[in-house]
Amino acid sequence: MNTKPNPLAAPLTLPCGAVLKNRIVKSAMSEIMGDRGHGPTPELHRLYSRWARGGTGLLVTGNVMVDRRALGEPNNVVIEDDRHMEALSRWAECGKANGAHIWVQLNHPGRQSPAFLSPEPVAPSAIPYASDLKRAFNTPRSLTDAEILEIIHRFAKAAETVKRAGFTGVQIHGAHGYLVSQFLSPLYNHRTDRWGGDITGRMRFVLETYRAIRREVGPEFPVGIKINSSDFKKNGFTEEEALVVIRALDAEGIDLVEVSGGNYEAPAMMGGRKKEGTPYFLAFADQAARTVTAPLVLTGGFRSDEMMRTALCETAVAMVGLARPLVVDPELPGKVLNGNTVTSTVRPLTTGVKLLDRITMLEITWYENQLRYLGMGQEPRPHENVYKTVWKILSGMGTMAFKRRRA
């Protein structure tokens, strides 16, 4: 039992005036638990009830799309209008149990919509994938100016809808190679109009999206963003540009900035971009946090209470984000907040055959199975054999096992 003052237990007041009860964030993971009509399911309700009871201060949902024509996965929740209001309201109610905040992560996949879902995806520019991903994703079509404005409206409409449903905030997904991230990156945005060019033009889309959302939800409703620190690719979006964007959003009144990095061609968020025993993107997050008013969340790589405490005590970061540790132990926040010494059981997963790991996307699908257990009201199985996951995929999903899914 740690008897020192616990920085993770301190409340946090956001620029809009909303108060988060502690400094632990459940970072977004794509749950793929929408129904056939892309509405929330009882499994999502149970999942977020469990996380709320576990003591997390802020729960951020995964990948809620703003356009059913542009999906990241077949079972994404989509918010375009009021058709799912009852189920959305129930989801919000479950997430707010035990005093937690629950924010909806709003997203558009852009070019990262798989070929089996999008014969012609849209993006800032018609840039195909150069890696082996080109087999999984079709070359996108460049958006028109009118289409860009329509997508911005969709983000704002979705935010207004979830506010009425009872959610306590929204997060713009601006990381991991999705549409907002595509606009920011010179690798994927080759436009010469007002939406492209230098960083001033490339960040116009995210600024206008934030402004449109703010007009719809008002000044007292939390609006945050998840943003890349870098593309981690040559000639891509840089840390210097990320700082420019974060400062611009801070000047506009953004309430919370979550730092991540990479995309599916350079997946920094999946490994390899940190020193052993430290979180991902720590140095950048500390640097950014010292230059803006908005609080910063650092997500990725936290495996112990000591790591979390150190991040808050020795840097300017205001919150820590957890994802996979909360899948295998939904009660982890409560243990940490009570002063217990905690080390997550999260570990690299492998069958020992790299090709099989890659074909079955083991590091994603194993955790999807754990989310399903929680959604069914069962306990997670942190020591479940990886071959059980492989067998479920190959025997139960057929060719769908080879369809690319994302985080």
CA–CA distance, 300 with 303 (Å, rounded to integer): 9
222-238 as b/e, with b when 16 or more CB fall inside 10 Å?
bbbbbbbbbbbeeebbb
For residue 172, the cross-strand partners are: 106, 225
Domains of the chain: which residue ranges? 7-345, 347-407
- CA-nearest of 34, 36, 117, 32 to 71 is 117
Phi then psi for residue 346, to 5 deg, are -60, 135
Question: What is the number of other CB atoms lying within 10 angstroms of the CB of residue 17?
Answer: 11
CA–CA distance, 223 with 322 (Å, rounded to integer): 19
Q: Which helix or strand (DSSP H or E) is residue 337 part of?
A: helix 332-337
Furthest-apart CA atoms within the chain: distance in Å: 58
Tell me the two tokens of residue 87: 């189920």
Which SS3 state, helix, strand or coil, does residue 134 take?
helix
Nearest 5°: the CA angle 347, 348, 351 is 125
Decide if 372 contacts 348 (C-beta within 8 A): no
Tens of pLDDT along the chain (407 residues)? 556 789 999 999 999 999 999 999 999 998 999 999 999 999 999 999 999 999 999 999 999 999 999 999 989 999 999 999 999 999 999 999 999 999 999 999 999 999 999 999 999 999 998 866 778 899 999 999 999 999 999 999 999 999 999 999 999 999 999 999 999 999 999 999 999 999 999 999 999 999 999 999 999 999 999 999 988 888 899 999 999 999 999 999 999 999 987 666 555 554 444 455 678 889 999 999 999 999 999 998 899 999 999 999 999 999 999 999 999 999 999 999 999 999 999 988 999 998 888 777 788 889 989 999 999 999 999 999 998 888 877 765 444 444 544 44
Strand pairing category for 64-65 and 58-60:
unpaired
CATH class for domain 7-345? alpha beta
Tell me the two tokens of residue 308: 């979390």
Separate counts of helices (H) and strands (E) for the chain: 14, 13
Phi then psi for residue 190, to 5 deg, are -105, 20
Rg (CA), the chain: 20
pTM of the model: 0.93
Q: Which helix or strand (DSSP H or E) is residue 305 part of?
A: helix 305-314
Q: Which helix or strand (DSSP H or E) is residue 365 part of?
A: helix 362-375
- Percent share of the chain, pLDDT over 70: 91
Nearest 5°: the CA angle 87, 25, 232 is 110
Distance of alpha carbon 23 from its chain centroid, rounded?
17
Decide if 374 contacts 331 (C-beta within 8 A): no
